[in-house]
Amino acid sequence: MQKESGIDSGRRSVWYDLELAAASDSALRQILHWSTLMYPHMLLEDVANRVIPYRGYGDRQINIRLVPQNERIEDLLAGALDQNRDLSDAVSGFCRRCLTNVMLYSRDAYEIVYQPNSDDDRELGTLSFLRIPPRSLTIGPSRIGQRLPRQIARDMGVPDKIRLPHDRLIIFEPPPRVRALLPRTLERLAALSEAALPHFAIENLRPDAKRVPFDVRQFSRATDLAIATAAREIGWTGRAIYGFGEARVVEHYWWYREFAFERFLIELREGFLSQLNEGLRRIGARYGFEGQLAIEGLPSLADVDDAQQHLFAGDRSLTEINSAFKWR
């Protein structure tokens, strides 16, 4: 089960209110602001909803399982991830939340806390993944720790620097290719959200206003181009909010963008799974088991490569090309 509340039994890291921390951290304040704006919020929602969809793709069903199967470990892990007894739902929900945080903060870290039911540490008890506040984790050449804002540490009566054991952490980070893309994409989308409609255009709606000439079509087209440019590196289409869709661009380019975004989602998902399995190896070393999580039924990078190859060659219909990516 996940907790975000102060100091818990067995926990070494400390959770605190991010809004309080943002008062003395301008970068955190900016990120929290971005998350409330229209286009960044839409992108975060789309990543969460599509990285592990709530429905299957095409004729395939999504299946998340522990290999080899171990029901006791599955129950333990499901409870740690999402307070859910179903492993597939627990992993899916945790993945969506975790990657939303990774998108925003470029890192999402958790402390593994073991609470055995007996004096034997190897006896299965309860397992918790406790989130560490964003931007508080410090990673050095030989040690990892948490640095709290000084005022918050004083108010809570805890040290402002806490050393954390490496083998009790799971750290999620974006793949190297997309790491630099995330902050600048969010920053561009945030800027577009702030200027969603010119102030004078809104004033034009008042009955007594002195109207300023404003061409809605030209503004819509300019907005389309700006959204397309802002998210070009990850392929996101902005849900065609103003009409950036197949009616506005050639069909070939629309699907080129869709497959680029699918590649981005797969890279995020595969990075998440690899890092979660690294945490599972640490848990297994304590409880004496070996196992890895596997996600089946979702498109792979090979599927994207194949789709793009046929899209460029023009040797298959779009229906055939898109078959691996269709929603059920």
Contact 152, 24 (CB under 8 A): no
Tokens of 21: 């921390």
Residues 6 or more apart whose Cβ sits within 8 Å of residue 54 = 92
- Residues pairing with 127 in the sheet: 114
Tokens of 84: 């859910």
pLDDT at 247: 57
SS3 (DSSP) at 3: coil
Mean pLDDT per 10-residue run, the chain (328 residues)?
A: 52 96 96 95 96 75 93 92 86 97 97 78 77 96 94 97 95 93 94 78 76 81 86 87 58 89 97 97 92 95 96 92 73
pLDDT at 8: 47
pLDDT at 6: 44
pLDDT at 282: 94
Q: HEC string of 265-326?
A: HHHHHHHHHHHHHHHHHHHHHHHCCCCEEEEECCCCHHHHHHHHHHHHHCCCCHHHHHHHHC
The C-alpha R_g of the chain, in whole angstroms, comes to: 23
pLDDT at 292: 97
pLDDT at 1: 47
How big is the CA angle at 241 (ends 238 and 244), to the nearest 5 degrees? 70
